[in-house]
Amino acid sequence: MKQEEQLVAVKEYTISKLGQDTTGHGMDHINRVVKMSKRLAAGENVDPFLPMVAAYLHDTIDEKLVTDVPAAKQELKGYLQQNAFTADQVDIIMDVIDNISFAHTLDGEKIQLSIVGQIVRDADWLDAIGAIGITRAIYYGGGHQEKIYDPQIKPRHNMSREEYRNLANETIINHFDEKLLHLKDMMNTATAKKIAEHRQQVMKDYLAEFHAEWNAEK
């Protein structure tokens, strides 16, 4: 099987799993992460094939999106084997998608990612910051009945994984302090670090404007 055919098969698998998603993890997110993974791989002189495959699949076994994670992993492994991925490739892909979630950086977990994992995590996190990141945070927050902002509710720091998933006292604006503004310094690849600088400034400008308008200063 040619690599192009394998990529098509993997894309079809993802469409079958996330094609109907309305939580900000739909195919638009996936396609941006694939495109960015290709760009970051080029910057690292890494073959883009496995980064692109893992980018397509990175949200298909996410604990937020599937009810039975072990079953989802088994199904995915079987699909990769059927589509002529070697045992080594399956191991690399599963390792990446098991370990790139932001939730894994909480609770003091130390995760050592392969270069493929570093690329896909950077690409996924770049999609959480900048103009697209702002849009996704508002979309996600609205979908989860979060308040836009409440000055009485302070941003949480050093959150546990459980707290991160508890949205009872979450606001969309606090999510920037709690997560999005930290991602820039957690990028791995040189290209992503550079792109993140600009996107960070976009978020900072947005937040400054938001607070000025909130206080009727502008």
Q: Which of residues 113-152 bind Ni ion (CB under 5 A)?
A: 124
Nearest to 111 by CA among 102, 123, 120: 102
Shortest Cβ 128–Ni ion spacing (Å): 8
Residue 130: left if φ>0, alpha if ψ -120 to 50, beta else—which one? Answer: left
**Single-letter residue type at 86:** T
Nearest to 50 by CA among 60, 38, 68: 38
Identify whether the C-beta of residue 139 lies closer than 8 Å to the C-beta of residue 193: no
Binding ligand ADP by CB under 6 A: which of 7, 46, 75, 140? 140
Q: Which of residues 54-93 bind Ni ion (CB under 5 A)?
A: 59
> Which region, judged by CB under 6 A, interacts with ligand ADP, from 9-17, 30-38, 66-74, 169-177?
169-177
Compute how many residues bind ligand ADP; rule: CB under 6 A: 17
Rounded distance, CA 201 to CA 207, Å? 10
Give the orientation angle of helix 49-57 with respect to helix 115-126, to 10 degrees: 50
User: In this complex, which beta carbon is closest to Ni ion, that of residue 124 or of residue 170?
Assistant: 124
Contacts with Ni ion by CB under 5 A lie at 59, 124
Contacts with ligand ADP by CB under 6 A lie at 24, 64, 101-103, 128, 133, 136-137, 140-141, 146, 167, 170, 172, 175, 180
